[in-house]
Amino acid sequence: MPKGKNQKFKLYRLAQIMLENTDEEHYITMPEIKEKLEEYEVTADRKSIYNDLKDLEKLGIEVEGEPVGNRYHYHVVERPFELPELKLLVDAIQSSKFITQKKTNTLIKKLEKLVSKYDAQKLQRQVYVSGRIKAMNESIYYTVDAIHNAISENRKIKFQYYQWNVKKEMELRHDGAWYHISPWGLSWDDENYYLVGYDSEAELIKHYRVDKMLHIRMSTEAREGKEHFKQLDMADYAKKSFGMFGGKEKTVKLLVDNRLAGVIIDRFGKDIMLIPADESHFTVNVDVHVSKQFLGWVFSLGEQVKILSPEEVVEQMQGEVKRLVEQYGE
């Protein structure tokens, strides 16, 4: 029998048809396969298609045929990602504040191509779970990539940093001055992405919101601050920084109501030592960067948490209480 038309595209189109139209619950028959190939202007006989279905396995696409009545029904039996795994990825992308809505939609569309058109509809339903606030800096996707490249090349980076003004306009900080930073890692905290790096001019470890970085460039200068990061645990650094706001690192002793044990463990981890103080309370020593955000976190827990030491942190809290009374008092 003579060969059909467009044979060089046949295996590619067959893979496309099987991946798009079949899954564990949806099958396709041989006449339907031939019909769909013809839609791509590819013609083939049954025997060659049987052989091609076997060849797909070499490409990592396992196809199974099951007899149903007087016909075989074919479907793809295994894929790189299971549907529940892709749903998790979709939800993570959708809930990530630092990924813009436009980039979110693009990424989810790409994930949909990893499943059949039937399962893709289930992923599409996930997109509309909630209307979360998303970043507005479209370049963040590439900023993250540029930071990783600079780290792997052991180079400093230059960038400008912005903030929003009351007119809802992007306003460059420090009159558009360029920041020269040695990047050492990225940290995720409070739904935001942060660059953690070393500022050699200030001789300090600093962090910056990645979605507020603009015009990032890789410098020809080698990174500095290696000695500061040798002992730095990135996860520990983020845990100590409330909302990634800076402040002097202190060991703070807290008196906590037993009912908040879970809150303390969720924030500081299971390795933290809870020392009984009385029948209703325990004390705990936590290493934190003392900032207004930390004091605000303690304040939000009300009478169930009290700072015991050091004295200077107690005085900072007293100062905040006094300020609040003056601000909201009559």
Same domain, 221 and 146: yes
pLDDT at 129: 42
Supply the DSSP symbol for 5. Answer: S
Within this chain, do residues 205 and 163 fall inside the same structural domain, yes or no? yes
Q: Do 155 and 194 fall into the same domain?
A: yes
Does one domain contain both 58 and 96? no
Helix (H) or strand (E) holding 249: strand 248-257
**Claim to verify: residue 62 and residue 87 sit in the same structural domain:** no
Assess if residue 236 is contained within a domain: no
- Quote the pLDDT of residue 279: 92
Residue 321's domain spans which residues?
A: 242-328
pLDDT tens digit sequence for 91-125 = 778 777 777 778 888 888 899 988 898 888 888 65
Looking at this protein, which amino acid is placed at residue 273? M
Evaluate if residue 133 carries a pLDDT over 60: no
271 and 313 inside one domain: yes
Last residue of a domain, one of 166, 199, 229: 229
Same domain, 48 and 69: yes
Could you tell me the CATH number of the domain that includes residue 30? 1.10.10.10
- The string of pLDDT tens digits covering residues 146-191 is 998 999 999 999 999 988 776 777 889 889 999 999 998 888 766 6
- Is residue 23, in this structure, part of any structural domain at all? yes
Reading the block at residue 294, the tokens are 């930390």
Tell me if 135 is assigned to some domain.
no
Contacts of 67 (CB under 8 A, 6+ apart): 73
Nearest in space to 221 (alpha carbons), one of 256, 251, 182 = 182
The residue that leads in pLDDT, 133 or 202, is: 202
Q: Is residue 234 part of a domain?
A: no
Do 90 and 69 share a structural domain? no
pTM above 0.75, yes or no: no
Lowest mean pLDDT across 169-173, 193-197, 263-267: 263-267
> Which residue do the tokens 């202190």 mark?
250
Same domain, 107 and 144: no
Q: The CATH number of the domain where 287 resides is what? A: 3.30.70
Q: Does 225 lie in the same domain as 149? A: yes
- Do residues 109 and 168 both lie within one domain? no
Number of domains in the chain: 4
Q: Could you tell me if 112 and 151 lie in one domain?
A: no
Q: What is the pLDDT of residue 221?
A: 94
pLDDT > 90 fraction of the chain, expressed in percent and rounded: 34
Give me the CATH number covering residue 195. 2.30.30
Mean pLDDT of 182-208: 84
Q: Per-residue pLDDT averaged across 37-64, rounded?
A: 88
Q: Is 237 a member of any domain?
A: no
Residue 133, in any domain of the structure? no
What lies within 8 Å, CB to CB, of 77 at 6+ separation is: 24, 62, 63, 64
| Residue 134 covered by a domain | no
Mean pLDDT of the chain: 84
Domain membership flag for residue 212: yes
